[in-house]
Amino acid sequence: MGRLRREILIGGFGGQGVILASVILGRAAAVYEGFYAVQTQAYGPESRGGASRAEVVISDEPIDYPKVIEPDYAILLSQQAYDKYLPLVKNGGLVIIEEDLVPNRNEELEKGRKVYAYPLTEIAEETTGLSLTMNILTLGLFVGLTKIVKKESIEKAVLDAVPKGTEQINLKALYKGFELAEKYL
């Protein structure tokens, strides 16, 4: 294992942009920061509405095992993802929760982890007029809280990945995420 091996698990349902968020994060680390990064994904039986999970492993050394074993970080965007993946997060790990979509929280299970809960979809909608930008807003919050990559790197990776014509709206969502993170730091 490298000196720096960070495991990120993103869970939600199809249509929330879970996979895209993980691809952007991996790209920011690999292309713009020179780290090794591996991104993997899994869908439930039906892609839209079904469970969707993505993993990113970032390291300063070649990655021998590409799967998340004990996530340092988790972004949980549905109740199902919360129930299934919160217990895997290592003690002291950081967790971001979409609080409107995770109505049943378990305080006992959250103990020992840094948990940040926001109505992320609603904030995205208020910020850009599009609930679809929630994944980019969440990435901004995640990067702002963890400093896992530089803000410029995630910004460039977002611009690489989003559909032409949506750059400004996605950057607006990303910056709103940075702003939310600032409140804690």
Q: Of 51-55, 126-130, 144-148, 160-164, which range is least confident?
A: 51-55
Element (H, E) at 22: helix 18-33
Domain ranges for the chain: 5-183
Please state at what angle helix 167-182 crosses helix 151-161, rounded to 10 degrees.
150
What pLDDT sits at residue 15? 83
- Mean pLDDT across the chain, nearest whole number? 93
Q: Of 8-17, 98-107, 139-148, 155-164, which range is least confident?
A: 8-17
CATH superfamily of 5-183: Pyruvate-ferredoxin oxidoreductase, PFOR, domain III (3.40.920.10)
How far is Cα 88 from Cα 68, in angstroms, rounded to an integer? 10
pTM of model > 0.75: yes
Looking at the predicted structure, is the pLDDT value of residue 2 above 50? no
Q: Which residue from 179, 132, 167 is spatially nearest to 20, judged by alpha carbons?
A: 132
The radius of gyration of the chain from alpha carbons, rounded to an integer in Å, stands at: 15
Is residue 141 within 8 Å of residue 179, measured between CB atoms? Answer: no
Q: For 47-93, write each residue's pLDDT tens digit.
A: 556 788 999 999 999 999 989 999 999 999 999 999 999 999 999 99
How far is Cα 59 from Cα 81, in angstroms, rounded to an integer? 25
Pairing of strands 51-59, 36-43: antiparallel
What pLDDT sits at residue 11? 95
